[in-house]
Amino acid sequence: MAKARKDLRGRALKPGEIQRKDDQRYMYSYTDPLGRRKFIYANDLTELREKEQKLQRDQLDGLDLYAAGKATINDTFDRYMSTKYELRDSTRDGYIYFYNHFVRENFGLKKLIDIKYSDVLQYYYYLLNELDVSISTVQTIHGLLHPTFELAVRDDIIRKNPSDGVIAEISKKTDKKAGIRHALTRDEQRVFMDYMAKHPVYYHWWPLFTVLLGTGMRIGECLGIRWEDLDFKERIVSVNHSVVFRYDSQRKNSTVTISLPKTKAGIRDIPMLDIVKDAFEIEKEEQAVSGGNQQVIDGMKGFVFCNRFKKVHNPQTVNDTIRRICKAYNSEELLNAKKENRDPIILPDFSCHHLRHTFATRLCETETNLKVIQDIMGHASIETTMNIYAEATQEMKKLSFQNLASKLDDIF
């Protein structure tokens, strides 16, 4: 039987209670509704336990509010997040950021029990039409609200999930499709990279985007790559960590930390293509002149890519750069195509994650072993790999039949 812990006066301490040796203050640790570790302090044990009792009453009050059907969507979401013990900190922070940014101060204030299907549908249309957010953002929000409502259904607080079928309804009545990240076509990929490489302002982004398109790394994984993670002799890129930016809504600033990749499968080695090796070497030569990344993050240093402040790029900055490049290219392409009397090749609206999807598609076009593709991409589920493979091979099937049709035209 474990020996009971005691304070300096010999009094037994309850689980979670400790007395610090340096200043002899008492501390109680607990987990808040968002799954974060919190602490309360007191100068003596009696005061600490009074604070513990108040904390327990507050938590029971929240439970009574929920059980009585008086809870808001915010209350229910916080309760849902408190059940997600398996989430990594970076994933949890991302969920909370999205919820706080889009839901908490408006839709989240509504009473859970009053929400109907039409309320959710109207809210999603408001996001799309009034706030002009993308369908992928709406789907991310839906991915938080739907399980929140589902928790209330399972707890018998509400009878039906009011968000069931809402995304399908939006997709049916608009030209926007949810959850589909299309890869760039070969022509789109080519003109994007060619335009950037020759541009007097954007050319220095070429190594970073070449690595993204040539490895399929997630943006956080790519920004976290260090020189010591590269084996030029064996031609291997070792992915073993990720850079994570966390936004503090109260302080209105971001902090950067090191995290493990999104899943266990994310820890992997990626073969280094010739073009990727060239990109790394160009970046190394550039930094030999301008100076490399000077930032130290959680004890790690020597990051490959850096901004003008000698720090790692913020992923949002990279996405903003993609939009600026596409806008500049499309404007010039429309004029050039008109002058040359041809159809323009217009770049779509895309992000860093589309570049990962583009790499996966190019890989699927040449590789048939799904396990090899899954390993290189770091997919936790083979289903994710299969979905991309199915889309890629469908496009290849169309191309094959087009080639066949041209050959048959010569025969018939």
Question: What mean pLDDT do residues 214-239 have?
Answer: 95
Question: What mean pLDDT do residues 370-375 have?
Answer: 86
Lowest mean pLDDT among 91-105, 266-280, 297-311, 391-405: 391-405
Neighbours of 378 (CB within 10 A): 22
Q: Which residues of 355-374 are buried (b: 16+ CB within 10 A; e: fewer)?
A: bbbbbbbbbbbeeeeeeebb
Computed over every residue of the chain, the mean pLDDT equals 85
Strands (E), 184-304: 230-231, 236-239, 242-248, 253-259, 268-271
Burial of residue 272, with CB atoms counted within 10 A of its CB: 0-12 exposed, 13-18 middle, 19 or more buried: buried
Q: Report the alpha-carbon distance of residue 285 to residue 105 in Å, rounded.
A: 49
Question: What mean pLDDT do residues 249-254 have?
Answer: 60
Q: Report the alpha-carbon distance of residue 310 to residue 332 in Å, rounded.
A: 32
Q: How confident is the model at residue 35 (pLDDT cuts 50, 70, 90)?
A: low
Which carries the bigger pLDDT value, residue 161 or residue 3?
161
User: pTM of the full predicted structure?
Assistant: 0.64
Q: Is the pLDDT score of 398 beyond 70?
A: no
| Angle ∠(124,320,326) on CA atoms, nearest 5 | 100
Q: Is the pLDDT score of 34 beyond 50?
A: no
Q: Is the pLDDT score of 179 beyond 80?
A: no
Pairing of strands 268-271, 253-259: unpaired
Q: How confident is the model at residue 249 (pLDDT cuts 50, 70, 90)?
A: low
So what's the pLDDT on residue 319? 92
Q: How confident is the model at residue 178 (pLDDT cuts 50, 70, 90)?
A: very low
So what's the pLDDT on residue 236? 95
Q: 142, 189 in Cβ contact below 8 A?
A: no
Q: 297, 243 in Cβ contact below 8 A?
A: yes
Q: What amino acid is encoded at 381 in this protein?
A: S
Question: What mean pLDDT do residues 120-132 have?
Answer: 91
Q: Where are the domains of the chain?
A: 17-67, 73-173, 186-403
Place of tokens 């971001």: 254
186-403, what's its fold? hpI Integrase; Chain A (1.10.443)
Q: 141, 102 in Cβ contact below 8 A?
A: yes
Q: Report the alpha-carbon distance of residue 17 to residue 45 in Å, rounded.
A: 9
Residues 6+ apart with CB under 8 A from 34: 78, 81, 82, 92, 96
How does pLDDT run across 191-205, given as a tens digit for each residue? 999 999 999 999 999
Assign domain 73-173 to its CATH architecture: Orthogonal Bundle (1.10)
Question: What mean pLDDT do residues 367-389 have?
Answer: 82
Question: What mean pLDDT do residues 208-235 have?
Answer: 95
So what's the pLDDT on residue 238? 96
Q: How confident is the model at residue 1 (pLDDT cuts 50, 70, 90)?
A: very low
